[in-house]
Homo-oligomer: A and B are copies of this chain.
Amino acid sequence: MGTGKRTLPTRTGAHRIVISVDAMGGDRGPAVVLDGCAKSAAKNPNIGFILHGKHDELEPLVARRKPLADRCEIRDVSGIVTMDMKPGHVMRQGKDTSMWQAIDAVRAGEAEACVSCGNTGALMLLSVVRLRKLEGVNRPAIACLWPSRNPGGFNMMLDVGADIRADEQDLLQYAMMGASYARNGLGVENPRIGLLNNGTEEHKGRAELKVANEMLANAAELGAYRYVGFVEGGDIPSDRVDVIVTDGFTGNIALKTGEGTATLIRDFLGEAFKATPLSRIAALLAMTSLSRLSKRIDPRRVNGGVFLGLNGTVVKSHGAADATGVSAAIKLAFKLAESKFNERLAARLASVAVPGNDAASREADSGNQE
């Protein structure tokens, strides 16, 4: 591994942020991943890439994509983590894979964030083991974006599947991490946080949720967020809240239920417009309106689950992502790296661990500070 290493070109004067890319991950193969990189590179002069994968396969793909010229380094690695590999197996045998090396480039400080479309379980386990948890973090979390009625167009939910359980202390950390991410990734200065429950009344829900409800309310000032209390499933896409906190089991079910419902309606809509000749004509006329809708709920625009709570930023792109999806995940990784999100998050969490240090914490991840 690493035989194809080259020096990374930089432009004089410009600070270029390097993203480490698992070029072999994903269902659609490296050509699509590189299309995504090229798309991002064309729009963003300050981005550079380290591409991990088979050199002989990647080199001609890079050569055919103009925006990538002088913008990336290829690191040769022969192994690939497939979608059906068990995370434990990858942990034991996967050192020579593009996924492992993509993470290790962040660990070594050569890149500021990692993007992979590969096996989620393996990516999470490798990320935790190679990057290690931030001090004070018990369970890392995966955060995802969700189309919403908010002005920014998105809400964020965590955890959506890093761990199947979370106690009240974990839920508090998720609130802290979510607030920090909303500030630095979504530009929401003073995010509203809600705790997902099966009702909004205070007596509802499991025991740990009642305890967490009080803890999240008490920590609002420290975390620089507004706590709105319990929220229900119907509030996830609402404008009542910016960040939804839940355990990874519930979050995963909610995320997939929402995606499944959206896909069902999209398919039914398509069938409705194909039902008769008149409806086909109507569909033509309605095309602009429909594509406007489609853009608002396009899952590719919200592509990119972020692993929170580690010493380094890892963005998980959907396995079936196309170039637009990969590019969205890269943009998110860039934005988080540019805002020095992870350093701010570490400072914020450290301040929580030492009560009384809240003056420092309020400044820790403000978007106005460097």
Contact = CB atoms under 8 A, between A and B. Distances in A.
Interface in A277-305: 278-279, 281-283, 285-290, 292-293, 296-297
B249 A198 contact: yes
A249 B283 contact: no
A255 interface: yes
A286 B286 contact: yes
Interface string A240-279: 0000001011101111111111111101110011011011
A260 B282 contact: no
B236 A260 contact: yes
B261 A288 contact: no
A239 to B, nearest CB: 11
A10 B283 CA distance: 52
Given A253-B253, A285-B281, A286-B286, A268 B293 contact: yes
18 contacts: A165-B206, A198-B249, A205-B249, A206-B249, A234-B257, A234-B263, A236-B257, A236-B261, A237-B264, A250-B250, A250-B253, A253-B254, A273-B289, A275-B289, A275-B292, A282-B285, A283-B286, A285-B286
B206 A233 contact: no
A252 B285 contact: no
A149 B261 CA distance: 11
A289 B260 contact: no
Contact of A233 (B235, B260, B268): B260
Contact of A257 (B258, B288, B289, B297): B258
A161 interface: yes
A248 B197 CA distance: 11
Interface string A194-215: 0010110000111000000000
A285 B288 contact: no
A360 interface: no
Q: Which 9 A-B pairs have the closest CB atoms?
A: A233-B256, A234-B260, A233-B257, A282-B286, A282-B285, A279-B289, A198-B252, A272-B293, A272-B289
A79 interface: no
Interface residues of A, number: 59
A238 interface: yes
Given A161-B198, A233-B259, A237-B260, A296 B268 contact: yes
Interface string A27-58: 00000000000000000000000000000000
A286 B206 CA distance: 46
A31 to B, nearest CB: 27
A289 B255 CA distance: 28
A319 interface: no
A206 B166 CA distance: 12
A196 B199 CA distance: 20
A59 interface: no
Nearest to A265: B265
A147 interface: yes
Interface string A321-341: 000000000000000000000
A164 interface: yes
Given A262-B265, A290-B272, A254 B252 contact: no
A187 to B, nearest CB: 22
A149 B264 contact: yes
A246 B250 CA distance: 11
A135 interface: no
